[in-house]
């Protein structure tokens, strides 16, 4: 019953790699299209996917039966190489997005500063003051 067990673990490893690749592609697509609504949940989703991948690869280390299958190891190395390339692409796109957001935040700050310049500071009035040209 050793062969099905090895095949099951190999399948689990491939699924973990594919799942993490799908998360990467989803996040890269969202970054490129500017859909940043769920960005706060990305870290958790990536951590879960990476944790599963790491766990599968850690179990691979002592498993001599899987390590003997050179075809599988070559395929796994190629998949991991693609993961790393996608991660690099994601990092570049994230840097671009961060730069764009920083520029937009700077414009917002300048706009707020300009609006404050139009505010009339009168220490005698407690509430907001409305200026009107009507009499």
The distance from CA 91 to its chain's CA centroid, rounded to whole angstroms, is 8
Q: What is the pTM of this model?
A: 0.69
> For 21-76, how does the pLDDT look when each residue is reduced to its tens digit (9 = 90+)?
999 999 888 888 878 788 788 889 999 999 999 998 888 777 667 777 788 889 98
- Region of residue 34 (left: phi > 0; alpha: psi -120 to 50; beta: else): left
């Amino acid at each position: 019953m050793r062969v099905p067990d090895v095949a099951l673990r190999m399948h689990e490893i491939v699924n973990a790699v594919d799942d993490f690749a799908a998360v990467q592609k989803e996040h890269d697509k969202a970054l490129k299209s500017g859909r940043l609504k769920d960005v706060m949940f990305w870290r958790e989703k990536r951590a879960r996917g990476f944790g599963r991948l790491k766990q599968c690869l850690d179990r691979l280390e002592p498993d001599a039966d899987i390590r003997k299958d050179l075809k599988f190891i070559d395929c796994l190395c190629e998949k991991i190489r693609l993961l790393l390339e996608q991660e690099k692409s994601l990092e570049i796109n994230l840097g671009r997005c961060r730069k764009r957001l920083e520029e937009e935040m700077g414009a917002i700050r300048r706009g707020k500063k300009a609006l404050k310049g139009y505010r009339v500071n009168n220490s005698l009035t407690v509430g907001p003051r409305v200026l009107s040209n009507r009499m």
